Structure 1
Amino acid sequence: MDIILILLVALLVEFAIGDPPNAIHPTAWFGKVIYLFERFGLRGGKTYQFVYGTAATLLLAAVVAAAAWLLADWLRDINYALYIIASGVLLKMTFSFVYLRKTALHIKRLIENDETLDKARFELRALVSRDTSKLPRPYLVSATVESVSESLCDSLVSPLFFFVVGSLFGTFGLAAAFGFRVVSTFDSMIGYHGKYEYFGKFPARLDDVLNYIPARLSALVIIAGAWLTKMGARRAWRVAKVDHLKTESPNAGWPMAAAAGALGVQFEKIDHYRLGRIDRPMTPGVIDDSLRLINSATLVWFIICFAIGGAYIALAKA
């Protein structure tokens, strides 16, 4: 029952409380530690930076995962109810979808008003890494919807995937989820070309490996979500198969292309990629439809996670 109960607690915390302030959020703590690593990671040549980045990533991921496993194992021996509640609260720290929805809706309201377009460009930087300072309205909508669809994988499917897989082997669920979150945070902070090319190469590649299966699962649940919401499920499948290769990342293209196909729009990052077909204009209303699509995909993913937990219980009792 561990998987199901912990997921239920995590869901309750997500809807009732949401994300805690950065002062007590583990991901913010990881960011501070990574910032400390960064101070020494760029001092040497290419080989030094690569080895240092590799060691820093593995060290922090191992320490955090080990701490999560030891805590979960200790709490389970102390008190089962405390173990479930604490594990659920901690699991919530590894994923988020309510905050993303609120942020996307806030940016949509800014985009709709000509007088707040500049503010929309500024606040969109919280969702995307590209330069948003001169983007016209359709590109602002595209960037928002791209972020919403891509984040389904990194912010929800991946951490819960590793939690469920780890939980099948005892109390390793939290360790796996937090280990992934550390690598993902490393990638988001230093997994870029430019000055981080060699320092961030290992966490970027490791993040690609860890997201390989979840990214493809994300595309599948988006297609399922499109079917539930009576959007273009078949079109989503066709576009995902063809356009997922157009992004630099081996994984990001899967959920984004599936979402573009389901919504009947074309995502475009200037000088990088175009995903989907132009069947409708890129208006702010597309953001509403994308959230409806991702909400359905999120529901499908939680049903899958609960189903795996139920199947595990049934097999254990057999």
Structure 2
Amino acid sequence: MNLHNWLRPANRGHTLLLALALDWLLGDPPSRLHPVAWLGQWIGLIRRRAPQTSATERFLYGAIAIGGSALALGWAGQRAQRFLRCGQYSWLVEAGVLSLLLSLRGLLHAGAAVANPLEEGDLPAARRQLSWHLVSRDTSSLDDRQVAAATIESLAENTSDSVIAPLFWYAVAGLPGALVYRFLNTADAILGYRDAEREWLGKPAARLDDVANLIPARLTALLMMLAAPLIGGSFGDSWRIWRRDAGKTASPNAGHPMSAAAGALGVELEKLDHYRLGAGLPKPTAGDIRRAQQLVKFSVGIGIAAVIGWNDGKWLAVSREGRTQSGEGKNDPCERSRI
């Protein structure tokens, strides 16, 4: 495989790799320049304009507003992707856009922000960092083990939501898939609450986000099982806890990466009055947050390696087939657009 083939825009695996590298090196831009922040502002407008009437009307309004916005965003993403792919190296811009839809560096930074004060014995600071970066629940009464557990749970769940899922949808449906997924996930994060204002308004977003995460959540669990031996755990333990505990959360998806992480790390993850994953295992410590960060890195790395390997194999097959045909560019939509 020569450099020219590696740089061909048809290879999404390499676009994924570059997007992750950009996210890792540059992190998130200021909110005023961040497309996810723009999506959040649009969802906030939808929320403010929701009818203050019956639950049925709020549900229908939410379904039309969120569904219509997702369709419009998918169309815009498809047009943008088609434009970008008509330049030989313009896929680099596509990788830049995709990097803004990921949050691996931000996720690992959030984990470190909790682990640092926890290791220093500053529990109040660790609680503040946890509620600021990772969870919406009240953290004021959590002890050090509960803070560590909540951090690991959030790292595991957000590995799926903020990294694997957008990468999965990009691999499946290109830039439109990643954009629509990120919109639905952001809409669920803003509207998916069971309070009087948002319960029925946010149900369409919550259900669409559940569907969009069905495969990525389970794929993340598998990647964590595969990565477990790299952090001193075992595939078998992660598999066993996942099989036993994945269905114990209210969410149809969150329990999959969290239970796989519990088994991989060999710790119990408990949210009081809600669930216990890995029951009977030791309670986690700040050191286990560090191991969870490594688990996240290795899981994402294995996933990217698999996508690149699959894409390279497909690309080589297509290249061989193309050499047996005349008219090399006749199947290129960009070539057709220039005729």
Tell me by how many angstroms 1:42 deviates.
4.9
Structure 1 unmatched runs, 5+: 167-172
Amino acid aligned to 1:119: A
Match of residue 139, structure 2, among 126, 132, 147: 132
Shift of 1:230: 3.3
Deviates most, 241-250 or 96-105: 96-105
**Kept after mapping to 2: 8 A contact 1:4/1:309:** yes
Confirm or deny: 8 A CA contact 1:264 1:277 kept in the other structure: no
In structure 2, the residue corresponding to 1:279 is in which secondary structure?
coil
Name the CA distance, whole Å, in 2 between partners of 1:230 and 1:268.
Answer: 22
The amino acid of 2:203's aligned partner reads K
| Structure 2 residues not aligned, in runs of 5+ | 1-9, 322-339
Alignment partner of 1:54: what SS? helix
The runs of at least 4 consecutive aligned structure 1 residues that moved more than 4 Å come to none
Counterpart residue number, 1:271 = 273
Deviates more, 1:105-114 or 1:187-196: 105-114
Residue 97 of structure 2 is aligned to residue 90 of structure 1 = yes
1:31 aligns with 2:37: no
Query: Which of the residues 117, 125, 149 maps onto 2:123?
Result: 117
Which has the larger displacement, 308-317 or 196-205?
A: 308-317
Encode CA deviations 1:175-227: one digit per residue, 9 max, x unaligned: 00000000000011111212211001111011111111111111000000003
Name the structure 2 match of 1:152: 159
Match for 1:208 among 198, 207, 210?
210
Distance 1:232 1:5, change over 3 A: closer
- Code of the residue aligned with 1:18 in structure 2: it is G
Question: Quick check: 2:241–2:263 contact (8 Å CA) kept in 1?
Answer: yes
Is 1:9 the counterpart of 2:23 in the alignment? no
TM-score by length of 2: 0.88
Distance 2:157 2:293 in 1: 12
- Supply the distance in 2 between the matched residues of 1:2 and 1:70 (Cα, whole angstroms): 19
**Which has more radius of gyration?**
2
Which is further off, 251-260 or 308-317? 308-317
The question of whether the paired residues in 2 share the 8 Å contact of 1:191 and 1:204 is answered with yes
Residues 261 and 277, structure 1, Cα contact 8 Å, conserved in 2: no
The offset of 1:289, in angstroms, is 1.0
User: How many pairs does the alignment contain?
Assistant: 309
Counterpart contact for 1:139–1:268, Cα < 8 Å: yes
Identity, in percent, stands at: 36
Task: Provide TM-score, normalisation by structure 1.
Answer: 0.93
Equivalent residue in structure 2 for 1:61, among 56, 70, 74: 70
When the two chains are superposed, the root-mean-square deviation of aligned CA atoms in Å is 1.4
2: CA distance, partners of 1:90 / 1:219 = 26
The 1-side partners of 2:263 and 2:38 are apart by: 37
Cα deviations by residue, 1:141-193 (Å, 9 ceiling, x for unpaired): 00000000111111111111111111xxxxxx000000000000001111121
- On the 8 A contact 1:243/1:257 being kept in 2, the answer is yes
Please say if residues 13 and 171 of structure 2, whose CA atoms lie closer than 8 Å, have aligned partners that are also in contact. Answer: no
What is the alpha-carbon distance in structure 2 between the residues aligned to residue 76 and residue 260 of structure 1? 41
**One-letter identity of the residue aligned with 2:300:** T
Q: Determine whether 1:181 maps to 2:189.
A: no
Taking the aligned partners of 1:278 and 1:6, their CA distance within structure 2 comes to 42
Maintained 8 Å contact 1:161/1:214: yes
Structure 1 window deviating more from structure 2 (223-232 vs 30-39): it is 223-232
1:94–1:181: 8 Å Cα contact kept in structure 2?
Answer: yes
Look up the match of 2:148: 141
Give 1:113 deviation, angstroms.
3.3
C-alpha contact (below 8 Å) 1:221/1:297 kept by paired residues: yes
**Residue 171 (structure 2) aligns with:** 164
SS of residue in 2 equivalent to 1:81: coil
State how far apart, in whole Å, the 2-side matches of 1:137 and 1:228 are: 26
Q: Alignment partner of 2:49: what SS? A: helix
Match of 2:193 in 1: 192
In the TM superposition, residue 123 of structure 1 has moved relative to its aligned partner by 2.1
Partner of residue 243, structure 1: 245
Post-superposition Cα deviations, 1:52-88, rounded to whole Å, max 9, x if no partner, equal 11111112212222212111211222x2212x11100
C-alpha deviation, 1:122, in angstroms: 2.0
